[in-house]
Structure formats: structure tokens, C-alpha cells
A and B are shown apart, each in its own frame.
Chain A
């Protein structure tokens, strides 16, 4: 089985090909057909080609940290951080994209002014602010696009159903691997020892943190108690 076939299988397994029930005109060329339940199925051939193209663009940037990866979606954040880690790119640390990150160079801003040469975005809908700012400063944009995503200001769309962490992570994993191959860090047909699972977003519940429901309840009550006391005090003061 060739590399390409393997990758396509990976994409299918991660359900990258399943889009939404809406179709945007811009994405028409990346859609293969419509499934029985109404979802648009994306053409994985295009997806694969665009991953290759995107990887080339990323690898062409001399300084790895001039590539910036963004995800305001929690399900994409881990993937973005891992991608940045393995390709030495820079990523946004938090969910919120501070407006002016690319455009506000004044010292009064919280020193978060960045001037990357390339921007990779997980969801053009939610990361709209980042894409718009990139348009102000001549920064090309690579974006993971679903079937209902407008491609305004997106230079290289990667068609993928970006509603689930599996599909997003798979794309970033493949991208990172391709970039490493192009940079010579990995052999052409070498298997990358890092697993996709590392890129998956995990919901961390209280159980895992060792905080039981009782503890949470106590704390909440404690707060109320404090508030009551304050209320009494306030009455007295009056």
C-alpha cells in the first residue's frame, strides 16, 4: 500500500471527509458528493493534495517560528500546540485571539504583537479575527475548511470536516509529518513514531483531577456562606 493510500485511509478513519449539511459556494470544488443523510462528503484527493501544498509552503519559510498556528476552538488547541512543538512554529497560547495581535504595534498593547510570515487557522468561522488581521498585513493564510466555510482571505484551504477533534488532529499530524519530511528530519517513507492520539483534545473532568462532587459542593456552599455573612455585616453597618 502506497504512502498516499495509507494517508487516505487515515483520513477516512478520522472522518475528515464528512462535512456539514450546508455547502458554501467557495467549497463546491472540494466536495465529491452528498451522502444519504444530507452531509456533504469532501473529496479527500483534494485534501491530500492541499496538505502536501501547505506543507511545502510551511517548509519554505526560513525561520520556523515565523509560522503561526491558531485555534480558538478547544478541540483544536492541543493539536495546534503539538504541531507548533514538532515544527518549531509559534502558536496562540490561549483560546482567545487578542485583536491587534498582528496589527497593533504600539507599546501600550500587551507586548503580544507578532509578525509571522504565515498563518495556519483551524476554523475560519471562529478564527475570523485572525484571518481579517492577516489580510491587513499581507500574511498568507492556510485554513482547515469545512463544506460551509467561506474562503474569503484564505489562500490555501484544506478541506476537512473540522467539527471533531479526531479530524482536526489528523490533519495537523499529517501536516507536521510532511513538514518534517520536507525539512529532512524524517525519511521519505519513514513512519513517524509520534501518534495522532497525542494531538487529540481531551476533556478533563473533575473525576480525573481527583476532585469529587462532594468537595465541589462544599466549596460552593462555603462561598454562599461567606456571602451571607457579608450580607449580615452590611445590614449592621446600615
Chain B
């Protein structure tokens, strides 16, 4: 790590000759220094006589616990300050500070999380401590300046799969390029949802409004579980050989009455899964549940026999008595579980080994539950105006 700093610094000063009218700027980052041994990095930097030194990030690795050897966002302010002090107290740095003007880029010290400070509980105070470290005065406008919420996904877009000293997968959370960015709705429905004009997802389903933005679903369903069910490489032949991509099928559900099936093909597995999750949210459907026999307690099975088909696969869902559980193949079973169906008999036909078709057929069958006109739906339903009609004034005013 020190080597890294040195290399960066040297790179910045390479091929420059100390000249009277020449401006020398040094920059560095990733200063992982633990007082385990002395370092004379700053002395060496100083020998180039830079006018400015810029901290470009990770000025101190405040969330690395050297003894335990794990990465976790620091929850203790004193410890954060301690880590900055390690650098500050370094004898060469003290000298360095006197001779060189030091500035820095905001750094949320999530070292490797790269998520725009999402997991850093001390984000605000860490920022102030960092500014102290850099040497900003107490009343500097930078103190009040809001941070641009951006993280640069190191493994996101690039080809790198291995994360150096990477955080355990659980800590990372849903990966988003760009950290936590504000959602700007692009459709009328999106705008209404964001403004809170629409009370529930069921309104959207009632009027068969196509959902084009996955954030709409996220807004209503906070505890949506995602489960990748099928993942495989697909290839295309080019003049330069084969071009392989990964296709992922993901099922998204709240385990209660909503389910979505999405698929995406992308160059990387992670990207495929991520895209498939979004696609699944866009394809969300309500699932109607019913009773096998007496209407006691909550509905637990499909309301009637429904069948879905995709390709050659036919999947038939049959109501089952309470306690039966889901009698289905593993693939189908997973989908039905996520939909919240507790008991169900299934019959399938066709090439169910074609996972994608099997999944889609099951999904279509579940979709049919709300397409079926049962006698209890025979009553007359009052005609209501669509959300677009109802809130047309609000929408027009937005433009």
C-alpha cells in the first residue's frame, strides 16, 4: 500500500524537472499506515518540492481493523480521529504540512465499499474530521457543502471480478452504480407514485397501467426478496470467435401476493442478475389466492385450476387442502413459494428441463389467477377514474 502511494506520487512527478517557473503538484491516495513501522514517504515526496499535495481518497483507512483483519465502517468517532492522527503525527508529515499546501477530495472512507457512504454511520462527523485533517478552517464553506453522492464501483463496470481484501458479500447490499442516487421519475405514473398520490400497487394493477420504472415497485414493496433461479452462459458467434454472455432469471416476490419474473442477458453475471431483478420488478403481478374447501382463515391456495404455457411447457396449478404444501418440481416450487401460495398441486408437461420456459409457464399460470372470473366477481363494479384522470391537474402543473 505504501508502495502504491509512492508509485502514484512518483508517477506524478516523473519527467518533471524542478524549474523556477514550474508548478509541481503531487497527489496520492490509499494511505494505509498503521504505525507498525516508520515510513519516510512524505520525506521522499518532499524531495520533489511540490507546491500542492492532493489527497485523492482513502487518506486514512478508518474502517480497516488491522488486528482482526476485517473491513467494517467505523462506528466510533474517537477511533476515526485516532486514525487520522496516525498520519498527522508522523514526523515527516508534520514537516510536509509546513512546506506544502494540502488539499483533498471528499472521501467517505468506505475503502472498497465504494457505495457513496451508504454504510458509513459516521458519514457527517467523519467528513468534519477529514476536513480537520486536511486543515480546513472551522468556518470554511466546505464544512456545510453537501457531498456529491457518488461512488465509483470498482468491480461494477469493469472486468475485475476479484475484490482486493473485499468486504464480505452481506455488507455490500444491492449494488448500484452511482451509490444512492435520487430517483427522477420519467413517466407520469412514476411522478404520481413519488408524490405519494397513489396509495397502493393495487391501484396500478386495477387500471392495468404498465410499470416502466422499477423504483415504483420499490416504493410500495420494501421487503421484496430476490432469488436468481437460473443462470447460464449464452453464446453468439462472431468472426472473432464466440461472444459469451450470461443470462439470468430472477424471481422477485414479497412472499405474500406479489411476484415478478425477470430475465436479462449481460456480459457479466452480476450485471445480468442486477438487470434481471429490475426486469422482474417491472413484470410484477398480483397473485390471487383462494380456498380449497371451507373458507376459514386466510386463503392459502390457488382459487381454481389454472394453467400457464410457454414454449412446450404447460404448468397446471390445482387447489390443494391446507397442509399439503407445494407439490411441485424445485423450479416451480420456488416461484410458488415466493408468491405466497402455501398449498398447491401441480402438473407439468413438455420439456420442463428448459428452465426458462418452465419458470415462465409457472409465472403465466399465476397470472391467470386474476384473469379467471369466479362467481364472487360477478357483481357490478363501479367505474372509477384512472389515476391519470384523477390527478390530471397535478400532472399538468408539473410540466
Contacts and interface: CB of A to CB of B under 8 A. Distances in A.
Interface string B180-212: 000000111000000000000000000111101
Given A105-B187, A106-B186, A117 B389 contact: yes
B187 A138 contact: no
A65 interface: yes
Given A105-B186, A107-B186, A115-B187, A62 B209 contact: no
B377 interface: no
B170 to A, nearest CB: 33
Which residue of B213, B388, B392, B396 has the most chain A CB atoms within 10 A of its CB atom? Answer: B388
Contacts of B186: 105-107, 113
B393 interface: yes
Q: Would you list the 8 A-B pairs with minimal beta carbon distance, nearest first?
A: A105-B186, A62-B392, A63-B392, A115-B188, A63-B396, A105-B187, A105-B212, A138-B208
A238 interface: no
Interface of B: 186-188, 207-210, 212-213, 388-389, 392-393, 395-396
B261 to A, nearest CB: 19
Contact of A117 (B187, B208, B388, B393): B388
Given A105-B187, A115-B187, A138 B392 contact: no
A137 interface: yes
SS of A interface (majority): loop
Given A62-B392, A106-B186, A136-B210, 7 more contacts: A61-B392, A63-B392, A66-B388, A105-B187, A115-B187, A115-B388, A138-B209
A80 to B, nearest CB: 22
B210 A137 contact: yes
Interface string A117-157: 10000000000000000001110000000000000000000
A70 B392 CA distance: 22
A66 B187 contact: no
Contacts of A136: 210
B277 to A, nearest CB: 18
B208 A63 contact: no
B383 to A, nearest CB: 12
Nearest to B191: A115
Which residue of A62, A65, A66, A115 has the most chain B CB atoms within 10 A of its CB atom? Answer: A62
Contacts of B207: 138
Nearest to A115: B188
B11 to A, nearest CB: 36
Contacts of B388: 66, 115, 117
B191 to A, nearest CB: 10
B394 to A, nearest CB: 10
Contacts of A107: 186
B392 A66 contact: yes
Interface in A75-117: 105-107, 113, 115, 117
A138 B210 CA distance: 8
Contacts of B210: 136-138
Nearest to B207: A138
A84 B389 CA distance: 20
A213 B392 CA distance: 53
B393 A62 contact: yes
A137 B386 CA distance: 13
